[in-house]
Structure formats: C-alpha cells, structure tokens
Amino acid sequence: MNAGLDQQHQSAACAETRVHWLVVAGQLAEEGADEVISVDLAHVQRISSHELSELIRLQLLVRKSGRKLVLENADENLRSIFELTRLTRLIEMR
C-alpha cells in the first residue's frame, strides 16, 4: 500500500509542477512590469488541453496590454504539440 501512496504523491507533485509554471506566468502577466513575459518550459514534460487554453488566455491578456509572451526551452514533444495546435502562430517560441 505504501508504494501506491508514493505513486499518488509523485503524481500530485508532477501536477503541481505543471500548474506552477502556468501560475507564475499568469502572475507575471498580471503584474505588468515586464515588456516581455518569458515562460521557461524546461521542466514541463506534458501539457493538458486546459493548460493550452490557459496559455491562449494568457497570450490574449499579455497582448492586450501591449506586451509579448515568449515560451522558452520547450522539449521536442511540447514543440510538436504547439505546432499541431498552431499555437506557434500566436506565441513566440525560443
């Protein structure tokens, strides 16, 4: 039973990490301090459809305020998702 609990905790920690980068990006966008909002995706391995929609919402918020959203360090899998969903047309990737 302990192994099952450990796996649940690891899954929850993974989910928190994925949400964490999005929460931080949202906070940066709402603060409005920087002209360019850079989001480091180096530790993000997966992205859900909800997170994709939140990224679009974030992009609209940033653009509306005259700023720019940039996604950095996305691995090959994430890049292919962004290309398939055509988010690379809306959000710059480095």
Q: Residue holding tokens 């992009």?
A: 59
Confidence at residue 49, expressed as pLDDT on a 0 to 100 scale: 92
Q: Provide the 3-class DSSP secondary structure of residue 67.
A: coil
Give CA 44 to chain center in angstroms: 8
Confidence at residue 19, expressed as pLDDT on a 0 to 100 scale: 53
Whether the model clears a pTM of 0.85, i.e. scores above it, the answer is no
Confidence at residue 31, expressed as pLDDT on a 0 to 100 scale: 80
Q: Report whether pLDDT(5) > 50.
A: no
Q: Provide the 3-class DSSP secondary structure of residue 87.
A: helix
Confidence at residue 33, expressed as pLDDT on a 0 to 100 scale: 67
Band of pLDDT at residue 72, cut at 50, 70 and 90:
very high
Average pLDDT value for residue range 40-47:
90
